[in-house]
Amino acid sequence: MLDKIKTKLLEFYHKEDKIWLFFSLFDLQNKLILSNGVLTTDKTLPELIEILYHSLLEKQTNPHILVIDVVKEIQAQPDIQKLITLSAKDYGIFVINRQTNVSGVVLPDTQWIPDIKSALATIKQKYGLSGNVEISTFTTRRIAFEV
């Protein structure tokens, strides 16, 4: 699987690129097994793939589909009114409380998230985020394949 991931990503990106990735792994019933990644890195693409593969994917026993979201653009979104008008199909959100350093993310076009307001509520509930948080939005290039 590691070689397949590298080959797929290197079709679109260069080895020297420092891109931000999320891996989501699904089983035969299309049930999410895991989803994790990074929004900032100083690692080259092959280094990052190795790290994510060995820490997340290598131990999985029944993977069927791997979805890789490559973050294209991220920007701070301080205007909540503008934020809730964005499409959850096109935009993911990243929320962080800088005081506690607790953060959460919802990727674009997540199956059970109908809108950005729901994405925000999901992150806040799942990670116990409250108070003064910073919110950023991002878009991705999605690459999916059977493993």
Predicted local distance difference test score (pLDDT) of residue 62 = 85
Burial class, 85, CB count within 10 angstroms (exposed 0-12 / middle 13-18 / buried 19+): exposed
User: What are the residues facing 25 on neighbouring strands?
Assistant: 34, 66
Q: Does the pLDDT at position 131 exceed 90?
A: no
> What is the number of helices (H) and of strands (E) in the chain?
4, 6
Q: How far apart are CA 108 and CA 88, in angstroms?
A: 6
Predicted local distance difference test score (pLDDT) of residue 17 = 87
* Average pLDDT over all residues of the chain: 93
Closest CA to 80 of 67, 62, 93: 93
Interval 85-115: pLDDT, tens: 999 999 999 999 999 999 999 999 998 899 9
- Supply the angle between the helices 2-10 and 45-52 in degrees, to the nearest 10: 150
Predicted local distance difference test score (pLDDT) of residue 50 = 94
Interval 48-90: pLDDT, tens: 999 999 999 998 988 999 999 999 989 999 999 999 999 999 9
